Amino acid sequence: MTAAIIAVGNELLSGLSIETNSHFLINKLKIAGISTSSVSIVGDDPDSIVRALNTEVANDVDVVLVTGGLGPTHDDVTMKTAADYFGSEIIHSEEAYKRIQKLFSDRGIASLSKINRDQALVPEKAELIPNLNGTAQGLKFSKENRKYFFMPGVPVEMEKMFDDFILPELQKQSRQSITNIIIHTTGVPESVLFQKIEHWINKNQELSISILPRFPEVDISVTKTSDIRYGKSDVESAVSELSELLGDDIFGYDDDTLESVIAQQLVMHRLTIATAESCTGGLIANRLTDISGSSEYFKQGIICYSNQSKIEQLGVSEKTLLAHGAVSREAALEMARNVRQIAKADIGLSTTGIAGPTGGSPEKPLGTVYIGLSMNGRDDIFHFQYNRDRLSNKFFFSQMALNQLRLTLKGIDG
Amino acid sequence: MTAAIIAVGNELLSGLSIETNSHFLINKLKIAGISTSSVSIVGDDPDSIVRALNTEVANDVDVVLVTGGLGPTHDDVTMKTAADYFGSEIIHSEEAYKRIQKLFSDRGIASLSKINRDQALVPEKAELIPNLNGTAQGLKFSKENRKYFFMPGVPVEMEKMFDDFILPELQKQSRQSITNIIIHTTGVPESVLFQKIEHWINKNQELSISILPRFPEVDISVTKTSDIRYGKSDVESAVSELSELLGDDIFGYDDDTLESVIAQQLVMHRLTIATAESCTGGLIANRLTDISGSSEYFKQGIICYSNQSKIEQLGVSEKTLLAHGAVSREAALEMARNVRQIAKADIGLSTTGIAGPTGGSPEKPLGTVYIGLSMNGRDDIFHFQYNRDRLSNKFFFSQMALNQLRLTLKGIDG
């Protein structure tokens, strides 16, 4: 089975927004064993939309997925264009109206404005697809053995609609299945990783293997297409071989994130943590608390940007700051130790460094970071040097701190 | 003038690579006053490429930009397809050969492999465009007043080729220029915003206006195409009318971010800030310190997830927590006041709420947040209720806190 994606929106052609929905859809279609034969981006203009639809008829794809232009504002023309294209009247749908009412009452809004009520006007011939995150209804049409799905362009609305209602239908129709396992690594450059696994790649020619750098992580994607009746055994055995090859470079698989893996480790060992951040400015605490249930292990964070706050709040000694500077092994160590004691936590994690773009020196260049990790009487300091832009540096620093935490927690298991 | 972009490459349809060249080209074309009417992504397959070229002939664009598939490997079919499409022989080009030789000798490689020598085989009818960063030559064809440029898909090669050789030619030909202003708003839902400016949109038919929701912000893009000899006066007058209509809903223009606007306000008033975050887990501090130079105004942050840390670190009274709970006006107020005093800052900003997906109650449903803002003896508490997923909730809470800070700082000016 093949699919075509048509993304509608002037903003996608104006340079303001980057079209990202197609990337999501391509990957999801892959899971259903459906390959994407083309992606078109066109403006909010009926003629362009119709030309794109006709091109996909000529390409003879099985499924056409259209995103965008279903909203309530004047430049949203997709719904009207679809109605004309399939020769359908536009009518008021009670089903859609009730859904919109429920959405607003769930948000505590009792009455609908005209613009929201108008979202219940839909093509008579369309099968409606619920939008659980917004007011624009999804539309399904069938014509000459070809299915057309029209979805909103807002990613959070489109993704939920596709996952809940469209993907299951497509999976049932396509009898192919693609087994895909994603392996997540961090702390190893792409080129080093490639050298480590080159032999393994050559050995597994029947698998489709990709190395995907997603700063500051590198993923390895392993894919196998097969008839739906066969299992995933050969992918799994190749992946477990890879896991042995890479060892601690791998932090997780598929939906794992570095934060979720650390959360599992902390909960399993019943350990609590506190953070003392300088250069990462709260990013580590923010990432740790992105996980639901983090109040079980995250006790407290202190963001000490100034020397004054390092001294007064964290009890870092003035002598240390004078002798070694705020960006130093010694300061990182005291920060980690002290925040652990202050918060009565099992683990103290600290960062001090230079995120840039100013503030570097020959001895401590931009991108220098010291990470302190204090746990059960054992104190470690890690040092990294990495410089790109300020936001990348902050993220890289937080990644290295969390990764060292993961590796240390892994050590407890052994 | 209008342009169409065709990106060629199986990897762009496999879900592994994201197509980014079109975004670069759209923005560069805009500078030359050329609007992009469509983007197509097709596989490395002659039929698909030809169909995409024919569609752009039907669309009657002035310029067709094709990227990708010019390389030396077996799946690169764009050059051969272009030669066939324009009825051209493929010949050895001495000009291309010398350029490839120079590229390799500059890199210290004396002899060319066959695969590299073959990159000098090009369509006879094409005008060659130098590739300063690689071996694949760019190709230019003209047919029926339409220009076709074929460029490599590797961004670093394509971008240099486009900037150095193609953009100057297009700029000379187009005598238009496009003026674009982006207006950033936050705190107002898209539908409410639309109602406020509907009349203004209808009045300014000669402008191209888009409303772009970028949770939790909504942008308004105002664009005007004009002859290169005229200025941007009419866009600016329309925008200043819009600014009066929307007032405080607008936080900035073009490259402004909420964080950068607040940074300017704090620096201008020489004010310092400290944060006490519960439900936002460090996100507000992280956003404030995303700005280079934030150490000038950001003094300290405390992330107090547990009641214990609220009491011990922030001095929130146990009585308050018992009587009203940690998620309450009273707790938010004490948190903001106390962190300001502890950090000796001018401003204290606090959040306490329920990010979910668990922990809600009938009186305090998921998505409830209280924001405390303490400044110069004046204390304010703000309350919002918004529930999506945990990460969106955290971001929304941080956005509302920063927006209230912005509005309060704006009040000082008046």
Q: What is the CATH number of the domain that holds B243?
A: 3.30.70.2860
- Per-residue pLDDT tens over the stretch B71-123: 877 778 999 999 999 999 999 999 999 999 988 888 777 788 888 888 899 99
Cβ separation B282–A298 shorter than 8 A:
no
* pLDDT of A150 higher than 70: yes
Name every chain B residue with its beta carbon within 8 A of the beta carbon of A283: 282, 286
Cβ separation B215–A156 shorter than 8 A:
yes
ipTM: 0.79
Q: Which of A72, A286, A357 sits opposite B281 (nearest CB)?
A: A286
Name the residue range of residue A295's domain: 258-413
Name the pLDDT band for B403 (thresholds 50, 70, 90): very high
Residue in chain B lying closest to A354 (CA): B292
Question: How far is it, in rounded angstroms, from Cα A271 to Cα A346?
Answer: 6
Listed residues A253, A287, A306: the one ending a domain: A253
Q: Select from A255, A30, A20, A12 the least CA-distant residue to A155.
A: A20
What does the block give as tokens for A191? 């080129």
Residue in chain B lying closest to A106 (CA): B387
Cβ separation A38–B41 shorter than 8 A:
yes
Question: How far is it, in rounded angstroms, from Cα B266 to Cα B286?
Answer: 16
Task: Tell me which of A232-241, A257-266, B196-205 is least confident.
Answer: A232-241
Same domain, B90 and B45: yes
* pLDDT of B306 higher than 60: yes
Cβ separation B23–A18 shorter than 8 A:
yes
- Please name the residues in contact with A413: beta carbons below 8 A apart, sequence gap of 6 or more: none
Name the pLDDT band for A227 (thresholds 50, 70, 90): low
Question: How far is it, in rounded angstroms, from Cα B208 to Cα A243?
Answer: 53
> H/E element holding A412?
helix A390-413
Residue B84 distance to chain A (closest CA, Å): 21
Residue B375's DSSP bridge partners are B347, B378
What does the block give as tokens for A110? 């009792």
Mean predicted confidence (pLDDT) in A75-104: 93
Mean predicted confidence (pLDDT) in B179-196: 90
Q: Select from B324, B327, B403 the least CA-distant residue to B370.
A: B327
We report the CATH number of the domain holding residue A41 as 3.40.980.10
Question: How far is it, in rounded angstroms, from Cα B357 to Cα B366?
Answer: 7
> H/E element holding A64?
strand A63-67
Question: How far is it, in rounded angstroms, from Cα A304 to Cα A301?
Answer: 10
Query: What distance separates the 2 farthest-apart alpha carbons in chain B?
Result: 88
Name the pLDDT band for A348 (thresholds 50, 70, 90): very high
Listed residues B105, B140, B173: the one ending a domain: B173
Mean predicted confidence (pLDDT) in A370-389: 93
DSSP-assigned states of every residue in A243-307: HHHHGGGEEEETT--HHHHHHHHHHHTT--EEEEESTTTTHHHHHHTTSTTGGGTEEEEEEE-SH
Tokens 């310092």 -> residue: B272
Cβ separation B280–A303 shorter than 8 A:
no
Same domain, B95 and B185: no
Mean predicted confidence (pLDDT) in A379-391: 93
More confident residue, B53 or B30: B53
Task: Tell me which of A29-33, B5-9, B402-406 is least confident.
Answer: A29-33
Q: Select from A226, A220, A286 the least CA-distant residue to A33.
A: A226
Residue B277's DSSP bridge partners are B303, B351
Calculate helix-pair angle for A233-246, A190-203, nearest 10 degrees. Answer: 140
Which of A65, A259, A298, A303 should one mutate to test binding to chain B, selecting the residue with the greatest count of B CBs within 10 A? Answer: A303
Cβ separation A156–B13 shorter than 8 A:
no
Cβ separation A38–B38 shorter than 8 A:
no
Residues of chain B above pLDDT 70, percent: 97
Which of B41, B255, B363 should one mutate to test binding to chain A, selecting the residue with the greatest count of A CBs within 10 A? Answer: B41
pLDDT of B228: 54
Residue B174 distance to chain A (closest CA, Å): 17
- Please name the residues in contact with B300: beta carbons below 8 A apart, sequence gap of 6 or more: A302, A303, A304, A305, A306, A309, A313, B274, B275, B339, B342, B343, B345
Residue in chain B lying closest to A108 (CA): B385
- Please name the residues in contact with A194: beta carbons below 8 A apart, sequence gap of 6 or more: A211
We report the CATH number of the domain holding residue B288 as 3.90.950.20
Number of domains in chain B: 3
DSSP-assigned states of every residue in A61-83: -SEEEEES--SSSTT--HHHHHH
Residue A229 distance to chain B (closest CA, Å): 23
* pLDDT of B16 higher than 80: no
CB-based burial label for A268 (10 Å; 0-12, 13-18, 19+) = exposed
> Is B67 in contact with B6 (CB distance < 8 Å)?
yes
Name every chain B residue with its beta carbon within 8 A of the beta carbon of A38: 13, 40-43, 48, 52
Mean predicted confidence (pLDDT) in B356-372: 93
Same domain, B38 and B158: yes
More confident residue, A213 or B341: B341
pLDDT of B265: 97
- Please name the residues in contact with A27: beta carbons below 8 A apart, sequence gap of 6 or more: B15
pLDDT of B109: 77
Cβ separation B303–A30 shorter than 8 A:
no
Same domain, B245 and B264: no
Name the pLDDT band for B133 (thresholds 50, 70, 90): confident
CB-based burial label for A386 (10 Å; 0-12, 13-18, 19+) = middle
What does the block give as tokens for B131? 């590739």
Q: Which of B191, B208, B344 sits opposite A113 (nearest CB)?
A: B191
Name the pLDDT band for B205 (thresholds 50, 70, 90): confident
Name the pLDDT band for B231 (thresholds 50, 70, 90): low
- Per-residue pLDDT tens over the stretch A171-215: 888 877 778 899 999 998 877 888 899 899 989 988 888 777 778
* pLDDT of B230 higher than 80: no
Cβ separation B212–A116 shorter than 8 A:
no
- ∠ at Cα A308 (A345, A375), nearest 5°? 20
Residue A212's DSSP bridge partners are A219
Same domain, A236 and A278: no
pLDDT of B290: 97
Same domain, A86 and A105: yes
Cβ separation A390–B292 shorter than 8 A:
yes
Tokens 């963001």 -> residue: A303
* pLDDT of B414 higher than 60: no
Name every chain B residue with its beta carbon within 8 A of the beta carbon of A55: 51, 55
Question: How far is it, in rounded angstroms, from Cα B231 to Cα B219?
Answer: 23
Q: Select from A198, B76, A217 the least CA-distant residue to A209.
A: A198
- Per-residue pLDDT tens over the stretch A3-16: 999 999 998 998 77
* pLDDT of A112 higher than 90: no
Question: How far is it, in rounded angstroms, from Cα B256 to Cα B121?
Answer: 48
Same domain, A381 and A313: yes
Name the pLDDT band for A229 (thresholds 50, 70, 90): low
* pLDDT of A414 higher than 70: no
Residue in chain B lying closest to A34 (CA): B14
pLDDT, chain B, mean? 92
Same domain, B104 and B228: no
Mean predicted confidence (pLDDT) in B309-321: 94
CB atoms inside a 10 Å sphere around CB B293: 13
> Is B112 in contact with B100 (CB distance < 8 Å)?
yes
Residues of chain A above pLDDT 90, percent: 71
Q: Which of B40, B191, B295 sits opposite A306 (nearest CB)?
A: B295
Q: Select from B17, B77, B7 the least CA-distant residue to B41.
A: B7
Tokens 């980057």 -> residue: A18
Mean predicted confidence (pLDDT) in B389-393: 94
pLDDT of A30: 84
Percent helix / strand / coil, chain B, rounded to 5 = 45, 25, 30
What does the block give as tokens for B36? 């992009």
> Is B375 in contact with B347 (CB distance < 8 Å)?
yes
Cβ separation B16–A42 shorter than 8 A:
no
pLDDT of A231: 55
pLDDT, chain A, mean? 92
Task: Tell me which of A28-32, B122-126, B270-274 is least confident.
Answer: A28-32
> Is B404 in contact with B373 (CB distance < 8 Å)?
yes
Residue A136 distance to chain B (closest CA, Å): 12
Same domain, B124 and B208: no
Name the pLDDT band for A232 (thresholds 50, 70, 90): low
Question: How far is it, in rounded angstroms, from Cα A52 to Cα A58?
Answer: 10
Cβ separation A299–B286 shorter than 8 A:
no
Name every chain B residue with its beta carbon within 8 A of the beta carbon of A40: 38-41
Question: How far is it, in rounded angstroms, from Cα A401 to Cα A275?
Answer: 10
Same domain, B351 and B302: yes
DSSP-based three-state secondary structure for A37:
strand
Residue B208's DSSP bridge partners are B223
Tokens 């300017």 -> residue: B264
Name every chain B residue with its beta carbon within 8 A of the beta carbon of A36: 13, 15
Name the pLDDT band for A377 (thresholds 50, 70, 90): confident
Same domain, B10 and B87: yes
* pLDDT of B241 higher than 70: yes
Question: How far is it, in rounded angstroms, from Cα B39 to Cα B14?
Answer: 17
Listed residues A116, A143, A173: the one ending a domain: A173
pLDDT of A228: 54
Mean predicted confidence (pLDDT) in A319-339: 97
Same domain, A370 and A223: no
Residue in chain B lying closest to A301 (CA): B303
CB atoms inside a 10 Å sphere around CB B110: 7
